[in-house]
């Protein structure tokens, strides 16, 4: 008696080929909605399976929530930038209204304390600039001497602007008009120049994290550019 032929081995398609074919035929399920309802996929948050349509709804909801979160982050960033712009604008306008360099220095200290939580400011100007003025500079302005200039240059370490730690000793030396903190703080230093060296601007805080070394110095450099121009404008030769 002849043997029945052995059944051919069952052939299955590789998942990659199925996915590739469906990607080339995105309209395959049109008219086959019943098939969509029969498909089962792993549930994203629990054991077991769920229908493909339920999984799609879940994924779309997650994407909508993620997009909403990103939009809120963008709006929050925009609100912060607008508030920062207004503070900078009001500070610059106050500096422009100052009648001389002493008034400008005092306005600078007031604006930074009130609008940017920076309680300590010093403006070091060389004798070549202050000698042309009718009166000695008043705090927060100081005449730049060799000791202060050497220390400020060392803290800058060859840069135009820098945020760094500020020891109690450096605080006493660079902000002599203000009582020093008990512990080291932090500072942002910017070199002032406009065709010629015009000194240094020092912003300081008793908080060691206020001016972290990782912070960007764009604001300090911008403020230094404004101050340098006002120093020259208020000079007798202006």
* pLDDT computed for residue 3 by the predictor: 62
Is the pLDDT reported for residue 210 higher than 80? Answer: yes
Q: How far apart are alpha carbons 171 and 206 in whole angstroms?
A: 9
Three-state DSSP at 73 gives: helix
Every domain of the chain and the residues it spans: 50-97, 100-234
Residue whose pair of structure tokens reads 């910017």 in the numeric block: 190
Q: Which residues contact 200 (CB under 8 A, 6 or more apart)?
A: 123, 124, 144, 149, 152, 189, 190, 191, 192
Q: How far apart are alpha carbons 231 and 100 in whole angstroms?
A: 8
> Which tens digits make up the pLDDT trace of 145-155?
999 999 999 99
Q: How far apart are alpha carbons 235 and 102 in whole angstroms?
A: 11
Is the pLDDT reported for residue 237 higher than 70? Answer: no
Task: State the first-to-last Cα distance of the chain, in angstroms, to the nearest integer.
Answer: 121
Q: What is the rounded average pLDDT of the residues 184-207?
A: 95
Is the pLDDT reported for residue 13 higher than 80? Answer: no
> Which tens digits make up the pLDDT trace of 143-192?
999 999 999 999 999 999 999 999 999 999 999 999 999 999 999 999 99
Of the given ranges (55-59, 127-131, 226-230), which has the lowest mean pLDDT?
A: 55-59
Residue whose pair of structure tokens reads 């990607």 in the numeric block: 23
Q: Which fold has domain 100-234?
A: Beta-Lactamase (3.30.450)
| Element holding 143 (H helix, E strand) | strand 141-144
- The sign of the dihedral angle between the CA atoms of 203, 208, 213, 218 is negative
Whether the link from the prior residue into 140 is cis, omega within 30° of 0, is: yes
Q: For residue 31, is it left (φ>0), alpha (ψ between -120 and 50) or beta?
A: left
Average pLDDT, the chain: 87
* pLDDT computed for residue 238 by the predictor: 47
> What would you report as the CA-atom Rg of the chain, rounded to the nearest whole angstrom?
34
* pTM > 0.75: no
Q: In terms of DSSP bridges, do strands 141-144 and 161-166 run parallel, antiparallel, or are they unpaired? A: unpaired
Buried-exposed string 1-27: b where 16+ CB fall within 10 A, e elsewhere: eeeeeeeeeeeeeeeeeeeeeeeeeee
Percent over 90 (pLDDT), the chain: 59
> Which tens digits make up the pLDDT trace of 25-83?
777 767 776 676 666 666 666 666 666 667 677 778 888 888 999 999 999 989 988 99
């Amino acid at each position: 008696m002849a043997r029945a032929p052995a059944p051919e081995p069952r052939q299955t398609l590789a998942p990659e080929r199925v996915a590739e074919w469906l990607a080339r035929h995105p309209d395959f399920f049109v008219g086959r909605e019943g098939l969509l309802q029969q498909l089962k996929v792993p549930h994203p948050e629990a054991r077991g399976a769920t229908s493909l349509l339920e999984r799609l709804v879940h994924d779309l909801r997650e994407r909508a929530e993620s997009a909403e979160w990103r939009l809120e982050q963008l709006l929050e960033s925009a609100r912060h930038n607008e508030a920062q712009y207004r503070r900078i604008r009001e500070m610059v306008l106050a500096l422009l209204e100052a009648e001389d360099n002493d008034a400008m220095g005092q306005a600078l200290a007031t604006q930074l304390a009130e609008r940017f939580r920076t309680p300590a400011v010093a403006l070091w100007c060389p004798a070549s600039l202050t000698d042309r003025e009718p009166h000695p500079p008043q705090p927060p302005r100081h005449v730049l001497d060799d000791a202060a200039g050497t220390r400020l240059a060392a803290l800058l370490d060859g840069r135009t602007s820098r945020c760094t730690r500020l020891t109690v000793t450096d605080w006493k030396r660079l902000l002599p008009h203000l009582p020093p903190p008990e512990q080291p703080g932090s500072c942002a230093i910017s070199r002032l120049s406009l065709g010629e060296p015009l000194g240094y601007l020092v912003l300081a805080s008793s908080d060691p994290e206020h001016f972290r070394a990782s912070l960007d110095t764009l604001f300090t450099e911008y403020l230094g550019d404004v101050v340098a121009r006002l120093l020259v404008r208020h000079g007798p030769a202006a």
